[in-house]
Amino acid sequence: MTGIIETEGVTKRFAGVPAVDGVSLSVSSGEIFGLLGPNAAGKSTMIRLLAGILNIDGGSARVLGHDLVIEREKIKSEIGYVAQSFALYPELTVAENLEFYSAIYTPISREKQQLLLKQFGLQRFAAQRAGLLSGGYKRRLSIACALAHDPQLIFLDEPTAGIDPVTRRELWERFYELAALGKTLFVTTHYMEEAERCNRLAFLHRGRVVAEGTLATIISSFTGHSVYSVASAHNAALAAGLLAMPEVLLLNQFGDRLRVITDSSLTPESLQRVVRRHCDAAIELVEPDIEDVFMALTHERGRK
């Protein structure tokens, strides 16, 4: 096993119901690995398993070369973890939070703490209570705290949820800097443009991996489907007409264009015929993008 993370059939059940169901993944050193999936897909549970916070019920895994079951404590000290609902000490100042987290495992120097504050744009808030920071700055601080013992592997559970686009870009610059230093990042996100920033991805659906690889390989292996762009603003009758076709999997409206994901057995002529019944819109066969693939692979059975 050469990866920083290697899992084989990892399973976790809550009250007998699998939240993570036979997940096999491999993450390499210096990689930014993205885990995507709809709500309740099992992303946070997977991170908590790999971070040694929860016990696995089945399968096996090695994290940073340590066995996840028998060497859990070693793993905990070598990783950083930013939880989805992250915890800071609101009564401590920004600088004190960082110092506290640094002290838990291998403390870093004051200089390095200062550098972290600077890198995350927190210097001017150093003496302010963490509880008074805005949501975005709390998140920056929680990421800085997770880095305060200089971990090799960092788990970030939706690190940019609710973050403005400029700050999100800045955080991603930090993530790239960390990866360039040889750190490995394991990130969950719901933002498709962030998926495009990862080196490799896995899509999780109901606890199972439904696609894995680079963005390009995931998109190119999305066979059996076609994606059409229909030049139509929202049109309820058109939508109902399209969804009545058994080959139409799902629709996604973007302003005055409707994206239609179909089974590839549907001919453009048949689609155009149904569209014409409702409006005069042209249809265009387009390349699938990451959102199309994600939507199709995580689409629940039964029509919506």
Q: Which helix (H) or strand (E) holds 248?
A: strand 248-254
Residue pair 30/184 in contact (Cβ under 8 Å)? The answer is yes
> How many residues does the structure list for the chain?
304
Segment contacting Mg ion (CB under 5 A): 60-68, 80-88, 146-154, 223-231?
80-88
102 lies in the site for ligand ATP, by CB under 6 A: no
Residue with tokens 């076609």: 226
Binds ligand ATP (CB under 6 A): choice among 45, 102, 119, 184 = 45
Could you give the residue ranges of the DSSP H alpha helices within the chain?
43-50, 72-78, 94-104, 110-119, 135-146, 165-180, 192-195, 215-220, 236-243, 268-278, 290-297
Shortest CB 36 distance to ligand ATP, Å: 9
Contact between 55 and ligand ATP per CB under 6 A: no
Q: Does 45 bind Mg ion (CB under 5 A)?
A: no
Closest CB to ligand ATP among residues 84, 235: 84
Give me the least distance between CB of 207 and Mg ion, in Å please: 12
Of positions 11, 29, 60, 84, contacts ligand ATP by CB under 6 A: 84
Complete DSSP assignment for 110-154? HHHHHHHHHHTT-GGGTTSBGGGS-HHHHHHHHHHHHTTT--SEE
- The stretch among 52-60, 82-90, 220-228, 255-263 that binds Mg ion (CB under 5 A) is 82-90
45 binds, options Mg ion, ligand ATP, none, Cβ within 5 to 8 A by partner type:
ligand ATP
Q: Least distance in Å: CB of 58 to ligand ATP? A: 15
Residue ranges in contact with Mg ion by CB under 5 A:
43-44, 84
